[in-house]
Amino acid sequence: MSDNQKQENVIDRQQMLFEIQMLDRESKQLQQHLTQTDQQLVELDITKNAISELNNFEKGREILVPIAPGIFATAKIDNNSEVLINVGSGVVVSKTIEQAIALIKTQTEEVRKSQDMVIKELEKISNRINEIEMQLYLNSKEDKKQ
């Protein structure tokens, strides 16, 4: 093997290692995104359950309303069949319990679709890393022969 070929092999190895590092970073970012979407699903499920329970409360019943983590205010239930939903830009609309639950189910489906896409991308990254590692291994075996 000539010096020129050895230099090219070193450069190829460096490029492959650099690609593995970049793929690893991307993989970690996608895994963070998965963690966030897992949390979103938990929050959506908690919200759906809380809205479903609203029907069980009598009108006039006093409840605790969270204002911030660990901080609550007392409130009385005026209407146990509708909730107010922020639709953005400071606009709030009234929805029935059924409509609110349907909206949450739609949001849950969207989050799950997002998770599926991220998982597929993670699989692609993992496969690519495996390919590169295999190529590095084969190259190193070949170099030892020479």
Tokens representing 47? 């919200």
Residue type, 125: I
Q: How confident is the model at residue 9 (pLDDT cuts 50, 70, 90)?
A: confident
Q: For position 124, what pLDDT does the model report?
A: 98
Q: Is 74 helix (H, G, I), strand (E, B) or coil?
A: strand
d(CA 116, CA 118): 5
What pTM value is reported for the model?
0.79
Domains of the chain, CATH where assigned: 3-145 (1.10.287.370)
Higher pLDDT, 78 or 4: 78
Helix (H) or strand (E) holding 35: helix 3-54
What 3-state class would DSSP assign to 82? Answer: strand
Q: In whole angstroms, how far apart are CA 52 and each of 42, 44, 60?
A: 15, 12, 18
- 58: DSSP letter: P
Secondary element (H or E) of residue 76:
strand 71-76
Report pLDDT digits (tens) over 38-83.
Answer: 999 999 999 999 999 988 888 899 999 889 999 999 999 999 999 9
Chain segment 97-132, per-residue pLDDT in tens: 999 999 999 999 999 999 999 999 999 999 999 999
CB 97 within 8 A of CB 81: yes
Q: What is the rounded distance in angstroms from the CA atom of residue 108 to the CA atom of residue 45?
A: 8
